[in-house]
Structure 1
Amino acid sequence: MRRQGFLNTLSGRFLILTVIFVMLAEILIFVPSIARYRADYLLTRLKQAQIAALTQLATEDMIMPELEAELLANAEVYNVVLRRDEVRQLVLSSPLPGEIHDSFDLRMAGPWELIRDAFAVLADPENRIIRVIGAPVQDAGTLIEVTMQTKALRDAMVDYGLRILLLSALISVVTALLLFLAVQRLLVLPIRRVVRHMQTYAEAPEDARRVIEPNADVTELRVAEEALQSMQMQLTGALRQKERLAQLGSAVAKISHDLRNILTTAQLFADRIEGSADPAVARSVPKLVGSISRAVSLCESTLAFGKAEEPPPQLRRLNLSQLTAEVTEGEGLGPDSGITFLIDVPPGLTIRADGEQLHRVLSNLVRNARQAIEATGQPGTIEISAGEDEANWWIRIGDTGPGLPPKAREHLFSAFQGGARKGGTGLGLAIAAELVRGHGGRLDLVRSDTDGTEFIILLPKETTSPET
């Protein structure tokens, strides 16, 4: 997945937008503030000039030039004109360093004019001489007019503007940080939680524990979480149903395969009972009943289980020699079948396994071997041997058949793909391998060539399952 930078995240973009919008708001505050500052500055000059003019008028005699210059310097103006009783009078005056550049009447100025004139002063670095007209305070006349330079005004405005901008920047940063933290808490973190839930759910959509539990305080986010929860529950249910249907289909195939084999054995015994007067028939009846009972047990366990997975093996101590004898006798081979069994299993060899499941495994392997030999039309031999070492019990099943075709070896233990004979489904070896894996063991093909085929079953001696 492409690595995302901070500026490409919701948090980063919101932080940038917050700073931009707060700065824009501060600019909108700064513009009228600087215009208001200029107007107040000029009004202060007019007020100080009025005080200096009234001081001159209160003195009947002419004041000293030094005092007049001091009054003008304190007011920061060059001339003061006061109109009283319709008489325009130059009260204080001093030489102008240059021509008057512009005149400003504060009595008639509107907001837009004040803003325009303020930025005109900031944009002009030249020291100009301007005339400022205003109304005197305390009804000291009808008009007061002064001349002054713009340098002091511009310096004061620049200083004020810098302080306003610095304060605005500080406010912007603090505001942006507070808004950023608030959005992180109220919006970004809940969204991240939803994203994490979606990622976790995507890893195992069949696990109902991973369905999100809505708990957002924000109404819109809670609605989104509830919608996501509903969608996840529906998807989980659909996946479970699909999986169960697939498992059920596989289970039915397994039942059909194993039940067909078991009932074939029962049919063979039934044929012997029906057509033979041999006294040994009485001994065959229990085997017939056992085969039919095994078929019934398989059907009942599958219907109760309702899915394709095999139940865990019930490990018990059992005599492998007796189990092997039951498997070979279950094949019901007559003396004229042309197939010979060679059994090399120590009589006292006891292993720990599920007798029913291991019986199914051996039956599948032996039946495959018998069918492979019968397909050749020639006599053959099936050999079963067993033994043990320090770690495992092992069982070998070999035959003298024609060997497995190359295609069958590629998918030997895959259902519906590893069939060794024409018309076969490949379920037998797939089921056998699954049952052996349930014991923690392994079913392997040792060899398969023109001399025959040999499988080996390895069952571990150590297991975490309790012995019963």
Structure 2
Amino acid sequence: MKLFNTLSGRFLLLTMLFVMLAEILIFVPSVARFREDYILSRLERAQIASLALLATDGMIEENLERELLANAEVYNVVLRRDEVRQLVLSSPIPAPIEQSYDLRDAPAWELIRDAVACLIDPENRVIRVMGSPVRQAGLLIEATMDTAPLRSAMIDYGLRILGLSALISAVTAVLLFLAVQRLLVTPIRRVVNHMTVYAEAPEDARRVIEPTASVAELREAEEALQSMQRQLTGALRQKDRLAQLGGAVAKVSHDLRNILTTAQLVADRMESSDDPMVKRAAPKLVGSISRAVGLCESTLAFGKAEELPPMLARFMLSSLVSDVVESEKLAVDGDAVEFVIDVPGSLAIRADHEQLHRVLTNLVRNARQAIEATAKPGTIEIGAGEEEEGWWIRLGDTGPGLPARAREHLFQPFQGGIRKGGTGLGLAIAAELVRGHGGRLELLKSDAEGTEFMLHLPRELGTGVNGEAH
């Protein structure tokens, strides 16, 4: 049934079950109490009949005696007064007495036990019951009676109790069903509807949910959903702006390259000028143009497509590190930066030579620029080694450390820029290239004493990586 597959339907069913369980727990003591009252009422009638007989000094007709016993629904009555046990009324007993029950100060569990035993026994039996006379009319009153009328009355009472219980449980369940519908199901459906509508156009800020639930837990859920939707909408807007930026840059890339190429040719000719001022300015102009060309190409390369899978080959790491360091030394002004290389000459790794060159170049260049920004001498250390899982390359510098914002968005493009005016593409590209090898690039530390990166390259090939077999 579809109803019981819903939250409301299951709550309705559970409510009815729990109410019925509660009513059953009440039912058993109620039936036991009914049995006790039934027997006491028969003893009270028997006492009235016996007192009527005693009032006539035992002078009563036999027909009247049978009528008194029939009215009390007992076979005989024994009254104990002044320590004397006296059979006051009597009639033939159709069967032997099966059981005796003393209702004076009987514990509750005993009354319940006897009531259950009476209900489950369909046979009519003769029992003796004892109790205290009302209004202190004696010490004890006894009577014998059949169990069939008692059992029939108990069953009738029980059915009425169960019917009333079923009605109460049904009404309670319906009321709770309506309450749950209003307080829980409707707000939950509202949240689901908001999620569906938002999913159709997540960039539309008007579709972000506004918390209105009065239930604390549901309101917390709505507030959490609102926060998530706002973050996602902001991220999608930023992604859209970056995509538009990439498209715009792609459209002007050809003309921009032509302009920069022409400027580079002019700058090269300026270097041959005899004017001392021109000779001093020309290298800086060439450097600025080259950096502009490099920034344009790296931006296009990042936004145009994903990097190609690495073409893996074995090579000596020391030669690659030396090449990177020699290239960076050309940009160092004097002895401002000292390079320390601790790479074993016999260490052979398997990686994409060109991509790893780009990774190390980005890391070394960032370190160099960080040191130069302090206008103080510094050191860049490059170490490498081999481990069971693969190879590691460590690069550290004595620069001023990374700013807090850079550490927060270190490997995110256009957000993790280290130096003022930087785009943050260098580290983002480096991390992407390392991930393409199945490895990882991580920041070990960054404080006032310097920054240290660690690059891990796995020995085993990952899925989707092209190259020679291991």
1:99 CA displacement: 0.4
Residues 173-216 of structure 1, C-alpha deviations (whole Å, 9 max, x = no match): 00000011101111111111111111221222111111100000
Q: Among residues 170, 194, 197, which one is paired with 2:194 in the alignment?
A: 197
Aligned-residue RMSD, C-alpha: 2.0
Residue 163, structure 1, aligned to residue 153, structure 2 = no
1:10 CA displacement: 1.2
Residue 42, structure 1, aligned to residue 39, structure 2 = yes
4+ residue runs over 6 A deviation:
258-261
With over 3 angstroms needed to count, the CA separation of the structure-2 counterparts of 1:230 and 1:61, relative to structure 1, is closer
- 1:106 maps to 103
- Which letter maps to 2:101? F
Task: Measure the CA separation in 1 of the matches of 2:26 and 2:176.
Answer: 20
Task: Measure the CA separation in 2 of the matches of 1:58 and 1:190.
Answer: 76
Query: How does 1:344-363 map onto structure 2 within 5 Å?
Result: none
1:34 CA displacement: 0.6
Task: Measure the CA separation in 2 of the matches of 1:18 and 1:210.
Answer: 37
Residue 16, structure 1, aligned to residue 4, structure 2 = no
Task: Measure the CA separation in 1 of the matches of 2:3 and 2:83.
Answer: 71
Residue 117, structure 1, aligned to residue 119, structure 2 = no
Task: Measure the CA separation in 1 of the matches of 2:196 and 2:216.
Answer: 23
Task: Measure the CA separation in 2 of the matches of 1:29 and 1:205.
Answer: 55
Secondary structure at the aligned position of 2:88 is classed as strand
Residue 84, structure 1, aligned to residue 81, structure 2 = yes
- 1:353 maps to none
Alignment TM-score, normalising by the size of structure 1: 0.54
1:217 CA displacement: 0.5
Task: Measure the CA separation in 1 of the matches of 2:152 and 2:249.
Answer: 95
Q: Structure 1 stretches of 5 or more lacking a match? A: 265-468
1:108 CA displacement: 3.1
Query: How does 1:284-295 map onto structure 2 within 5 Å?
Result: none
Residue 176, structure 1, aligned to residue 169, structure 2 = no
Larger CA Rg, structure 1 vs 2: 1
Residue 208, structure 1, aligned to residue 208, structure 2 = no
Task: Measure the CA separation in 2 of the matches of 1:116 and 1:192.
Answer: 50
Alignment TM-score, normalising by the size of structure 2: 0.54
Residue 64, structure 1, aligned to residue 74, structure 2 = no
Secondary structure at the aligned position of 2:59 is classed as coil
Over the matched positions of the two proteins, sequence identity in percent amounts to 75
Residue 223, structure 1, aligned to residue 220, structure 2 = yes
Task: Measure the CA separation in 2 of the matches of 1:61 and 1:250.
Answer: 121
- Which letter maps to 1:173? A
Residues 275-334 of structure 1, C-alpha deviations (whole Å, 9 max, x = no match): xxxxxxxxxxxxxxxxxxxxxxxxxxxxxxxxxxxxxxxxxxxxxxxxxxxxxxxxxxxx
Task: Measure the CA separation in 2 of the matches of 1:177 and 1:93.
Answer: 56
Task: Measure the CA separation in 2 of the matches of 1:186 and 1:10.
Answer: 12
Residue 138, structure 1, aligned to residue 135, structure 2 = yes
1:257 CA displacement: 4.6
Secondary structure at the aligned position of 1:242 is classed as helix
- 2:315 maps to none
1:131 CA displacement: 0.3
- Which letter maps to 1:160? Y
- 1:188 maps to 185
1:5 CA displacement: 3.1
Task: Measure the CA separation in 2 of the matches of 1:155 and 1:22.
Answer: 26
- Which letter maps to 2:222? E
Task: Measure the CA separation in 2 of the matches of 1:161 and 1:61.
Answer: 40
Q: Among residues 52, 56, 63, which one is paired with 1:55 in the alignment?
A: 52
- 2:123 maps to 126
Residues 55-113 of structure 1, C-alpha deviations (whole Å, 9 max, x = no match): 00000242110000000000000010000000000000000000001110000311111
Task: Measure the CA separation in 2 of the matches of 1:31 and 1:190.
Answer: 41
1:13 CA displacement: 1.3
Residues 138-183 of structure 1, C-alpha deviations (whole Å, 9 max, x = no match): 1100000000001110111111000100000000000000011101
- Which letter maps to 1:25? A
1:28 CA displacement: 1.1
- Which letter maps to 2:73? E
Query: How does 1:366-405 map onto structure 2 within 5 Å?
Result: none
